[in-house]
Amino acid sequence: MPDDTLKDGDAGSHQSSTSVITGSININVLIAFIFGVVFLAIMLGFAVWFPNPEPFQVQVFMTVLSLAAAGVGALLPGVFHFQYQKMVRASGALALFGVVWFSQPAIVKSVVTLQTPSDSADAVIAQFLSDLDSKDPAKSYADLDPLAQQMFVPTITVWQQLYATNLGRLGGLQSRVLSGTNAATSPSGLPIGLYQTHTYLSKYEGIQGCRQEAVTVRATQEKKWQVFSYLISPTDIPC
């Protein structure tokens, strides 16, 4: 009898352990967990492996994150409502998609890692200005950040027209003196990133006074400086 009782206890213990090990998992909970892991992995990857992201990368990441949030939201109990500026209304999974998507500026600002290139921007700007002074617009156009070309001067023809309008009648450069530098992070209206602007007071032989020039560079995904914009004042100013 004692032996039989011991065996029954062992069997009961074994049966209990087996039921715990082979217990079923709700498929909805499993899917929600997977989406949560994917969401977290994308956020970590965005923060660690993509410094100075390009605008297209930001859009891809935010779209995936929004879809992941919607996937989780589809499995959550209850009803969640979302309204954006009295124009967009949604509930459930679509509401969570909207929350993440329209929170893009705050999310990107918190997650994106911006890294300053180790090399100075001086050499890049000097090369651009040298090519600009060569009177060959094609050289200076090749120095521009591809993103800047895409946004502002999509073709060499447009750049040549701007060159002729703003520099064509000024004559040769006589002097150019650096008057100031300025650093900015994600300026309004420009892609997220690190920027530096170098301002010069320049004297050209075809004008009486001087012109103010500003060259702005941007830190790229490869952590290098590239010329993002060039501006020159339309009227003469005292030298």
CATH number, domain of 211, equals 3.10.450.590
Q: Which residue carries 């969640």 as its tokens?
A: 80
CA torsion sign for 154, 218, 119, 113 is: negative
Average pLDDT, integer, range 21-45 = 69
Q: Which of 111, 115, 100 is nearest to 43 (CA)?
A: 111
User: Which of 111, 142, 173 is a domain's end point?
Assistant: 111
In a domain, 19, yes or no: yes
105 and 140: one domain? Answer: no
User: Which of 111, 139, 155 is a domain's end point?
Assistant: 111
User: Which of 81, 111, 141 is a domain's end point?
Assistant: 111
The domain containing residue 86 runs over which residues?
2-111
Region class of 176: left (phi > 0), else alpha (psi between -120 and 50), else beta: beta
Give the amino acid at 78: G
92 and 22: one domain? Answer: yes
Which residue did the predictor score with more confidence, 239 or 68? 239
Please report which confidence band the pLDDT of residue 175 belongs to, taking 50, 70 and 90 as the band edges.
very high
pLDDT tens, residue by residue, 201-231: 999 999 999 999 999 999 998 899 999 999 9
Q: What is the pLDDT of residue 8?
A: 46
Q: What is the pLDDT of residue 91?
A: 54
Number of domains in the chain: 2
Residue 231 makes CB contacts below 8 A (sequence gap 6+) with 213, 214, 216
Furthest-apart CA atoms within the chain: distance in Å: 118
61 and 86: one domain? Answer: yes
51 and 11: one domain? Answer: yes
103 and 49: one domain? Answer: yes
Burial of 207 (C-beta count, 10 Å sphere; 0-12/13-18/19+):
middle
Return the structure tokens found at 145.
């950040």
